[in-house]
Amino acid sequence: MTMTTEEYESQYTEESKNGETLRQVSDNKNKNSHKQSHPFLAKLGTGAACGVAFGLAAALVFAGIVKASGLDRMFLNEAASNDTRQEQYIEKDKLNNEDIADKEKDDDSKKEDEGAVSAEHISSSDDFTGNGINSIVKEAMPSVVSITNTGVEEVLSMFGTRQYESTSVGSGIIIGENDEELLIATNNHVVDGANELSVCFDDDKDKVVSGRIKGTDASNDLAIIAIRLSDLNDEIKGSYKIAKIGSSDDLEVGDQVVAIGNALGYGQSVTTGIVSALDREVTIDNFTAKLIQTDAAINPGNSGGALLNMKGELVGINSSKFAATKVEGIGYAIPIDTAEPILENLMSRQTRDVVDEKDQGFLGISCQNVTEEISSMYDMPRGIYVVDVQSGSGAEKAGLKKGDIITELEGTSIRDYADLRKQLTYYKAGETIKVTVQVADENGEYTEKEVEVELSKASEAAPEGALDNDESEDKNSQQNKIEEYDMNDLFDQFFNYGY
């Protein structure tokens, strides 16, 4: 059936309307279905909206409180302060870096100046201010000499007393000179018992000359050796130097020091260390001294050598006599401020040579040592106790009596008979010497007295001549007998002392 155009359009329009109506109904159903199927999402949306509203309200309230209380200004000030401090720190670091850089430049400049001054000072001035150990050694080494002592050692055996030639080595320091002599300081034990002394300069075997003992002080372990200037050749005269004297009183614990000496007889050697202690009391051979303690090695042969400060000045005289053989890192030196007045006294004495034994003089006494123990026990001076005085001897004529204690001979300390015997080897019979004695009164109190004694000849000495040196067998027998005296018996006899 054929439809007209008007009928077709009318039908299409109706269908379109019906379709639109159906779509609208379908859409409405879908919307209603969606709303009914998601109730939780609807509530979540409502809660979120409420939260946003509450947060906004809280923020507004807090802002109002901060504004009203002035906290906003405080926070701003704190922030500004932090910024300021940070800027200050940055500026301070900058300044510190600049200061450090400037200081380093100044230090470098100062070191260069000091180096120039030191070099100029060493080469042109008498005062030493070098700052290196090698410079100190170079400057001081010509002041230190090696000493060889050749003597006779007595050895007691079952066959009697035998004598053997002995050799020992030590060191010395050139500390002065006069018109005729070069004067060398050393330890007393370095020259003790010497028949001959050889002094070596610059570790050169071709620069060896003979020396003489000018004076000794056994109590302080000091001695002076004199060398005739006429015995020195031109090479030696141009090589030695006189040591620069410093002050041991200026030393402090921890100061660095340098020791120079003839260690073990191998020749001049150098050791370094620090001052470990000052005024350290050390006792050896019944003698107590206050010494400088150092960890610089002081070995046998170093005795009499120099202990120097970092200016190259002499501050001590080394002494291996006080060194402990089983202990390392402990050495001792006699302080120069203690030694100097003693050395000056020894240098002022007349230089003497050992007199031939047949020409030596005698006091004419019998004696016994007053040891440190006896001195402390009986409150007696240290020295030699006069047991007997020979009739007609110089000692009797001078007024010496049994009970007197001899403490000095010609200004040299006498601690025992060995000291007395050694000193008498320098004086001939007929010479007059000064003897210092301690004389006890009725209460046992001692007073010092000085007497002049004319020395007797060996032939004039009585058989009881006691401990004076004598070459006859009878006298040697008597010496041995006297050595066996019991001091306690003597004290009982003279002072009523006893156990």
For 215-247, the three-class secondary structure string (H helix, E strand, C coil) is EEEHHHCEEEEEEEHHHCCHHHHCCCCCCCECC
H/E stretch holding 129: none
Q: Report the CATH fold assignment for 357-495.
A: Pdz3 Domain (2.30.42)
Q: Which of 390, 379, 371, 404 has its CA nearest to residue 487?
A: 371
Q: Percentage of the chain with pLDDT > 70?
A: 61
User: Is 378 or 64 the better-scoring residue by pLDDT?
Assistant: 378
| pLDDT value of residue 403 | 93
| pLDDT value of residue 425 | 87
Pick the CATH number of 138-237 from 3.50.50.60, 2.40.240.20, 2.40.10.10, 1.10.132.50: 2.40.10.10
| pLDDT value of residue 470 | 39
Q: Who contacts 358 (Cβ-Cβ below 8 Å, separation ≥6)? A: 458, 471
| pLDDT value of residue 430 | 92
Region 336-356: what's the mean pLDDT? 89
| pLDDT value of residue 62 | 63
Q: Do residues 210 and 199 lie in contact, with contact meaning Cβ atoms separated by under 8 Å?
A: yes
| pLDDT value of residue 469 | 39
Predicted confidence band of residue 433 (pLDDT cuts 50, 70, 90): very high
Report whether pLDDT(258) > 90: yes
| pLDDT value of residue 239 | 87
Region 201-209: what's the mean pLDDT? 81
β-strands 405-409, 432-440: how paired? antiparallel
| pLDDT value of residue 59 | 67
Amino acid code (one letter) for 78: E
Report whether pLDDT(474) > 50: no
Predicted confidence band of residue 195 (pLDDT cuts 50, 70, 90): confident
| pLDDT value of residue 413 | 79
Lowest-pLDDT range of 108-112, 154-158, 330-334 = 108-112
| pLDDT value of residue 186 | 94
| pLDDT value of residue 207 | 83
Q: Which of 427, 430, 407, 429 has its CA nearest to residue 419?
A: 407
Report whether pLDDT(305) > 50: yes
Q: Which of 317, 313, 318 has its CA nearest to residue 336?
A: 317
User: Is 160 or 79 the better-scoring residue by pLDDT?
Assistant: 160
Amino acid code (one letter) for 53: A
Predicted confidence band of residue 483 (pLDDT cuts 50, 70, 90): very low
The set of catalytic residues is 189, 221, 303
Report whether pLDDT(253) > 90: yes
| pLDDT value of residue 349 | 87
| pLDDT value of residue 175 | 95
Report whether pLDDT(203) > 60: yes
Predicted confidence band of residue 99 (pLDDT cuts 50, 70, 90): low
Predicted confidence band of residue 448 (pLDDT cuts 50, 70, 90): very high
Predicted confidence band of residue 263 (pLDDT cuts 50, 70, 90): confident
pTM value surpassing 0.85: no
Q: Among 147-156, 367-376, 484-493, name the most confident range.
A: 367-376
Report whether pLDDT(174) > 90: yes
Q: Per residue in 32-48, pLDDT tens?
A: 444 444 565 566 667 66
| pLDDT value of residue 480 | 34
Q: Among 32-36, 187-191, 255-259, name the most confident range.
A: 255-259
Lowest-pLDDT range of 1-5, 236-240, 318-322 = 1-5
| pLDDT value of residue 438 | 94
Region 446-469: what's the mean pLDDT? 70
Lowest-pLDDT range of 92-96, 325-329, 343-347, 366-370 = 92-96
Q: Which two tokens stand for residue 23?
A: 């779509």
Report whether pLDDT(387) > 70: yes
| pLDDT value of residue 471 | 39
Region 352-363: what's the mean pLDDT? 87
- For the domain 248-347, what is the CATH code? 2.40.10.10
CA angle (434 as vertex; 431, 440 as ends), nearest 5: 135
| pLDDT value of residue 251 | 94
Predicted confidence band of residue 105 (pLDDT cuts 50, 70, 90): low
Region 21-31: what's the mean pLDDT? 45
Q: Percentage of the chain with pLDDT > 90?
A: 31
Across all residues in the chain, what is the average pLDDT?
74
| pLDDT value of residue 194 | 78
φ and ψ of 270, to 5 deg? -125, 135
H/E stretch holding 82: helix 71-124
| pLDDT value of residue 396 | 92
Distance between CA atoms of residues 30 and 230, nearest Å:
142
Distance between CA atoms of residues 198 and 169, nearest Å:
10
| pLDDT value of residue 444 | 84
